[in-house]
Structure 1
């Protein structure tokens, strides 16, 4: 289950505000910055920025408790600015995915003893915090070590193979092969050879003997994906293997034993297919000993941020770059229906990381059919300026020159900073949109942000 964490933020005001905003956006409800109101032991985790001596002394009271310390350090800093030991570190320019990653680690440490953390990793393929996914994980753990066939149902792209892999990794067969085969992707005349193998000369083109998937999966798990697309004549042969635990290669009369666990999956309604005479009822009951249903992504919107976290890690590992989404973009993704499920989400993130490298992706950067809610930015939206007028009325400014001398350069720098910060706030930190709003080139705005040391 997605446990509620008691989180405390102890940091300078600007950093405190940023962290409180990010935590609220991630749905964390038990968050406070009032460190004097309770002892350290009353919290699960503390986000620590630069601390005063008083704060550091208070924090050290919880050093021997379950308290998890998260050091928030400057972007250029390599070590935490904290006397107490902490190996959970955030940069002060962190985004929601960075915070989400740390919260995952905190929950893991609080809910699972250290010696069991490696076992917890066995179910990492089934990602999410929704009740449906939590129940799916529970059932998967329950059946993983049982010698029964499992039928996984759910729409295309929902992650049925990931569930099958999780089953295999948690079973006693984890050190043996996991062999998948898509029954709908192989021509029916080749499917028998793919499953059972063949001998040399068994058919035209069989120039050598070849092991089939049952032999390749010896001692492990055979995953029959899209079993509903299997021809009726092959269904009979699969049923016989399940019942007798033996098979023969095509073109051979030698019987071979099948020491494999069978996990099947389909997106089709097998009971309706049975009624239509398209699927064997006896095979259905042999496969459906323990059913698992993978819910569509549209039924578990709360899992989208967690899936984004894992998929972005995969993109980074593949060398495609770092993808960061503004809060408005994430809220929009959570509102999408996702008819293509996780596969659709993965494809979208891959497209975004290629289109927008090294920038924060806002709502307006998403493809039009993924935008939900009200856009924070419009080309015609006036930005209130530091003098209380709209940017569209700049040509009407009239300000009086002070009677005494003043530092015009400093005044202009202050005004420039105010405009840039307001534009960035309106566009969720999306530099390209803020630059267009200010009538600047993106590279020019980036240079000004660097020169003025403005935090995004």
Structure 2
């Protein structure tokens, strides 16, 4: 399919010559002799690009451009004129023109400008597509009352530039909420930089946040750009904010107040413009009373508080979440999507979910790996999700001594051992593998093999 170009000019000779030249270059070309006619054609069949003369009777090119951008912002426009001035060019650019070409027209310049504009349009379309994919990927799943209230709160606060404090238990999806706020904000085209304050050692957090100059300390072999600078014009997400030391809290507070900082070992003051979203699973009011969190930093961050509901308070969303996680597991394993019985889902709805959505996702991944059937039923649910399942407790260990062959006993022990460790680690295969000292891929294979052997 060839790109469509609309040429708008009140001179018939220019229309005729451009139509012929551009058609020879492989474009589909339509023409209009004034702004009114151009706007009608655009409404009927939006072209990819408009070559638009500025000086025309009736509404001129600038007014026509304004109307085009108001109703069709993604159509690229190149302005052409025989009486060009710097002021006119600046005005056309402000109104959204991609380029500005003076008469007499150079065909080479026109073709280059058209190709550049069309390439820019393609990049814009790719960016819109990728942004939509990102938004879809981070969509908040569920239609329960608490989730609808959460989505409404996000929609209200996102377009503003206000700072947000997200509260909620571990595994509820606080980072997901932060990403939704960013993607729906006016800073969506700028970076979102996430910082896990609990994961950075105290001696390194200042360098991580503010950066450092080469030679600032032992091991600083090159200059490092900090998270604040990386997030400039965008959003800085400070996760687990309560786990920072009081010393670091004081430094962050100063930067948030002054919107300025210096790299470690540097003397140059850097200005920064960031929207801050913070998150915590702790009660900050209690932390303030215990002297572990600064009250002034709390009030600086807590402009708009948002509470993320725990999974036990939105149990009606579990069936939807299970379906989503089963689809994700199928895509990851490149195998057909498995299903779960209504009875099994009902049992999951009765569980308290201390690990929240994260625990549910880990459980579904485990069940998909361990189940040899396409349909996951009640019998596949381990303790504590299925109270009827016999726990791998002492009676199971005792039964190992009734097995005659060492190989069979080792297999049974390994199965019980892995089951218990998975429960202890909320079915997180990565954490379980780390806790028992094996690679994740090895544990993944063993779970699947043990499941097949006991099928």
| Cα offset, 1:296, TM superposition | 0.9
Cα RMSD of the aligned pairs, angstroms, is 2.6
Contact 1:196 1:212 survives alignment (8 Å): yes
| Cα offset, 1:365, TM superposition | 0.8
The correspondence for 2:376, drawn from 347, 352, 361, is: 361
Matched length: 262
TM score, norm. by length of structure 2: 0.55
Aligned pairs (5 A) from 1:56-71 = none
Q: 1:374 to 1:227 in 2, by over 3 A?
A: closer
**Corresponding residue SS for 1:370:** coil
Q: Which has the larger radius of gyration?
A: 2
Q: Distance in 2 between matches of 1:178 and 1:305?
A: 31
> Is 1:309 the counterpart of 2:312 in the alignment?
no
Match of 2:184 in 1: 170
The correspondence for 2:362, drawn from 333, 347, 360, is: 347
| Cα offset, 1:140, TM superposition | 0.4
Q: Distance in 1 between matches of 2:297 and 2:136?
A: 30
| Cα offset, 1:320, TM superposition | 5.5
**Corresponding residue SS for 1:318:** helix
Contact 1:150 1:292 survives alignment (8 Å): yes
| Cα offset, 1:316, TM superposition | 2.3
Match of 2:236 in 1: 222
Q: Show structure 2 runs of 5+ residues with no match.
A: 1-131, 391-451
> Is 1:157 the counterpart of 2:171 in the alignment?
yes
Contact 2:173 2:357 survives alignment (8 Å): yes
Match of 1:324 in 2: 339
> Is 1:143 the counterpart of 2:124 in the alignment?
no
Contact 1:128 1:307 survives alignment (8 Å): yes
Q: 1:314 to 1:218 in 2, by over 3 A?
A: farther
Q: 1:320 to 1:123 in 2, by over 3 A?
A: closer
Q: Distance in 2 between matches of 1:151 and 1:181?
A: 14
Contact 1:336 1:372 survives alignment (8 Å): no
**Corresponding residue SS for 1:264:** strand
Contact 1:152 1:264 survives alignment (8 Å): yes
Match of 2:385 in 1: 370
Contact 2:382 2:389 survives alignment (8 Å): no
Contact 1:232 1:278 survives alignment (8 Å): yes
**Corresponding residue SS for 1:139:** helix
Cα deviation 1:148-191 (Å, max 9, x = unaligned): 11000000011000000110111111111111111011110000
Contact 1:123 1:166 survives alignment (8 Å): no
Q: Distance in 2 between matches of 1:135 and 1:191?
A: 35
Contact 1:122 1:170 survives alignment (8 Å): no
Q: Distance in 2 between matches of 1:123 and 1:148?
A: 24
Match of 1:208 in 2: 222
| Cα offset, 1:306, TM superposition | 1.6
Contact 2:138 2:176 survives alignment (8 Å): no
Contact 1:332 1:373 survives alignment (8 Å): no
Aligned pairs (5 A) from 1:36-435 = 125-319=139-333, 321=335, 322-371=337-386
Contact 2:383 2:389 survives alignment (8 Å): no
Q: Show structure 1 runs of 5+ residues with no match.
A: 1-117, 376-442, 444-456
| Cα offset, 1:312, TM superposition | 2.1
**Corresponding residue SS for 2:237:** strand
Q: Distance in 1 between matches of 2:342 and 2:248?
A: 50
Q: Distance in 2 between matches of 1:136 and 1:373?
A: 35
Q: 1:253 to 1:159 in 2, by over 3 A?
A: same
Match of 1:96 in 2: none
**Deviant stretches of 4+, over 3 Å:** 118-124, 372-375
| Cα offset, 1:260, TM superposition | 1.4
| Cα offset, 1:373, TM superposition | 7.9
**Corresponding residue SS for 2:166:** strand
TM score, norm. by length of structure 1: 0.55
